[in-house]
Structure formats: C-alpha cells, structure tokens
Amino acid sequence: MPELPEVETIARGLNQRVAGDVVESVWLGEKPEPLKSPAREIAAVLERAHIAHVRRVGKHIVFDLERPGRNGRRSSAICGQWIVHLGMTGRLLIASPETEMAKHTHAVLKLASGRELRFVDPRRFGRLAVVRRESKSGAGFAAPGDEPLDSQSERFLTLFRRRRTPIKSALLNQKLLSGVGNIYADESLFRAAIRPRRRAASLTRAELRKLHAAVQEVLREAIELGGSSVSDYVDAEGREGFFQLQHRVYGREGEPCLVCGTPIRRVIIAGRSSHYCPHCQK
Ligand SMILES: [Zn+2]
C-alpha cells in the first residue's frame, strides 16, 4: 500500500513527465469498482483537458486540468481535477501505445505527446474520480484532514490534545491528519519517545510538539529517499524502485532496539499492529 511519501514521489514524477500535456481521449474498462465518478463524467472532464499540474493531496494524486481557451491559448481557468487513489496495488504508468496492455488496466488516457497514461490495479481498491471546477477559486478536491507537512505546531496541538483515544489511533485518524499511515505513525512515535497506547490527551504540550516535529521529519526523510527513484516507478515496465526509510521499530518485533538493545514489542491497537521500544518510549 503506497503511503504518503510514495504518493508524493509518484505525484512529483508524474508532474515532471505529463504536466503540459493534453488528454486527447479516454478509455475506461468495464469493471465498476475503480470508478468513483460515472464513466461518462470522467471522460467529459478529462477529454481535451490540458494537464496543468500533478500534486499530492493526502494520499490522493490530483491532476489539475485546464481547458484550452479561444485561439488555442491556455485559459487560466482550472476546469476540473482528476483524482486518483492508488489503493493497495494501483499504478499509473506512462507507456508508448505499442507497449502491451497490462492485465487489470482500468483506464487509458491518450496524450497529445503520443504517450499513454495507464491506470493498472489488480486488486481494484484504487479509485478514479473527477471534480468539475468553474474557476481557480471554485471548491476543488480537499482531503478530510490537515496536510501533515503543512500543519503548524499549534494547530497540531489543538487537533490532538483533547483526544481520549490512544495517540497511535489519533495519528491514523484521517479526519485529523490526512495521509499518515501505520509505518510512519510507529516511526514518528519512536522518534518522539511516546508509547503508541498513551491516550492523546495525556501527552504534554512538549511531547505533542516533539511528535509534530517527528511526524514531519519522518515523512520528509522518506520523501527525500523516494525522490531519487521517481523515474523507475512510473516507467512503463512498472518497476518499483523505492529506497525504504530504514525502519527503527516498524516490522521489527523481537529485534533489538537500535538505540538501547531492548527487544521491540508489537501490540494491536484498533486492529493495527503497533511497534515500540518499551525502554525508549514512555
Ligand atoms: Zn530502545
């Protein structure tokens, strides 16, 4: 499952490669699951749209679309957005038309540059949707929670300080922060020296500030590592090239803590595995 840093890396890679291109036509497969908007609506918003920008919002990849204005000039009006959620196994591949269509291809966008942008998803948890926008100021797609990399320390404190749930569950609550997944929640809590089961409301302001810094640090490091492998990911062969952040606790149950040597423990919180060091984390 791609997490926020992977989605950020993919969005940046796509932006480098397809921003400025124009969607000439759209083919959609027959499987209904990937389509969160009606097929006709998706085609109507995408066809003949100019791809202005590709960026990440939460764990979604958002393509900002513009309509060519009169006399062929680009109008500055954003006409809509194409929103892609990769789910568990979704991929966006840039391919030449001769490249054989992968099994489980659910969408193909033919681009004016001659290339194709394909959405492939064997398990079909990925989702494609469109949003129409009349102007730049019109309401576009927004994730339900705060963007973790933009959130300010004071805002972070306000979001978490009164929560009665374990801090781990609060970090995973997408209505609070958008896009923090299980791995990065565990790694952030380790760096902030906070046990995942602690109630959010029991954390001091100093601890919450430390956690806020840790969340941003972990995500930024992972994005930096992913950034060097962008071209591999969106390549037509679908090679996966992420350098993973070295996990300090996630997936290391029973292995020695890298700081103190105590075996890492695993507990289940709200149905999710949580990993922590019983010595370093309080
Ligand atoms: Zn330790």
- Output the CA 183–ligand 1 centroid distance in Å: 17
Calpha distance 202→215 (Å, rounded): 18
The order of strands in the sheet holding 116-120 is 23-28, 105-111, 116-120, 91-95
Q: What is the pTM of this model?
A: 0.86
- Output the CA 257–ligand 1 centroid distance in Å: 5
For residue 59, indicate whether it is catalytic: yes
- Output the CA 213–ligand 1 centroid distance in Å: 19
- Output the CA 6–ligand 1 centroid distance in Å: 27
Are the C-beta atoms of 81 and 166 separated by less than 8 Å?
no
Please give the mean pLDDT across all residues of the chain.
Answer: 89
Structure confidence at residue 170 (pLDDT): 97
pLDDT-based confidence at residue 1 (cuts at 50, 70, 90) = confident
Model confidence pLDDT, tens digit, residues 188-199: 999 999 999 999
Are the C-beta atoms of 32 and 119 separated by less than 8 Å?
no
Structure confidence at residue 227 (pLDDT): 52
Calpha distance 188→171 (Å, rounded): 10
- Output the CA 215–ligand 1 centroid distance in Å: 18
For residue 17, indicate whether it is catalytic: no
Structure confidence at residue 229 (pLDDT): 46
For residue 266, indicate whether it is catalytic: no
- Output the CA 195–ligand 1 centroid distance in Å: 11
Calpha distance 60→14 (Å, rounded): 13
For residue 162, indicate whether it is catalytic: no
- Output the CA 194–ligand 1 centroid distance in Å: 11
Structure confidence at residue 9 (pLDDT): 87
Catalytic residue among 48, 132, 163, 272: 272
pLDDT-based confidence at residue 266 (cuts at 50, 70, 90) = very high
Catalytic residue among 2, 5, 148, 196: 2
Structure confidence at residue 137 (pLDDT): 62
**151: which residues sit within 8 A by CB, 6+ positions away?**
159, 177, 212
Q: What's the mean pLDDT in 177-184?
A: 92
Which of these ranges, 1-5, 133-137, 148-152, has the smallest mean pLDDT? Answer: 133-137
Catalytic residue among 17, 59, 118, 195: 59
- Output the CA 275–ligand 1 centroid distance in Å: 11
Alpha-carbon dihedral 87, 92, 97, 101, rounded to 10 degrees: -30
Find which of 11-25, 56-70, 125-139 is predicted with most confidence, using mean pLDDT.
11-25
First to last CA, the chain: 29
Model confidence pLDDT, tens digit, residues 211-248: 999 999 999 998 888 755 444 444 434 445 455 678 89
